[in-house]
Structure 1
Amino acid sequence: MARSLDGLVFVPTADQAPGQVGRQTRFEYHEQDGRVWAEYSGGDVVKGHLIGTRADDTIDFRYVQLRPDGTTASGHCVSRVTELPDGRLRLEETWTWESQDGSGTSTVEQPLG
């Protein structure tokens, strides 16, 4: 898969724990020459940024976000880019907090319409 993420919007398919991304969070991705970055906000995230690299269908990035209570959190994520049957892209993510305990998986995909 070589489809660029540049200019694409992604949304979570499910809510995560409080203080994390959820269905109200929107990610706006950018990609250029193997570099990937995004801004995100919504739900329990006032403002977030991620930055990393892409090799084929794998994105490796760090993220940092500001929560409504003024605290920040950061971590590391590896995502696999897949294409859904209808042509939308999905990112299957495995993440680990670096600023606190915890890890998990999540899925974001291009919204319908």
Structure 2
Amino acid sequence: MGGVNLNGRKFVMVSSTASTVNRDSPTEFLYWEEDGVVWGSYTGDTVTFGRFVGTRDDDVVSISYAHALKAGGKAGGRSSSRVETGDDGLLRLVEEFTFDGDDTPHVSVCAEVQTGVRTGGA
């Protein structure tokens, strides 16, 4: 894993093939990680609130997720994300996902937001 931990990191969605990303209020994700298990929450854009849980092996994060939609209803599915480190030292998550009941593959990109919230940081 190159010593990079997702614990306490915040990401915002910057692109998605499933929907147009609201640049003023993108979906925000908060990740936690311990001993290869990842979990977290997300909200914003079309999502009222969402939760995810899964595992991490090296630079691949595999999760199941569920969220409530601002338009009403709910959605859920599974995804696999590749963790990348940018030249600025911030992380990107390149995610391939499908929704339950729809096997159409989608891709999204989330970029880390520097927050200073991470545990173990200076």
Is TM > 0.5 for Structure 1 vs Structure 2? yes
Amino acid paired to 1:48: G
Mapped to 2, the partners of 1:103 and 1:72 lie a distance apart of: 19
* Identity fraction in percent: 35
Mapped to 2, the partners of 1:42 and 1:99 lie a distance apart of: 23
- Structure 1 residue corresponding to 2:69, chosen from 67, 70, 82: 67
Pairing 1:48–2:56 present: no
Q: What does residue 3 of structure 1 align with?
A: 4
**Deviation for aligned residue 1:84:** 0.2
Give CA deviations for 1:1-35 in whole Å, capped at 9, x if unaligned: 231100000011125416xx754211010001100
**Deviation for aligned residue 1:112:** 5.7
- Structure 1 residue corresponding to 2:111, chosen from 104, 109, 112: 109
Asked whether the equivalents of residues 10 and 114 of structure 2 are also in contact (C-alpha less than 8 Å), the reply is no
Dislocated runs of 4+, deviation >4 Å: none
Q: Larger radius of gyration, structure 1 or 2?
A: 2
TM-score (normalizing by structure 2): 0.82
Q: Which ranges in structure 2 are unaligned for 5 or more consecutive residues? A: 116-122
Give CA deviations for 1:57-89 in whole Å, capped at 9, x if unaligned: 000110101001330100110001010001001
Structure number with the bigger relative contact order (C-alpha 8 A, sep ≥ 6) is 2
Q: What does residue 14 of structure 1 align with?
A: 15
Amino acid paired to 1:13: V
TM-score (normalizing by structure 1): 0.88
Aligned residues: 111
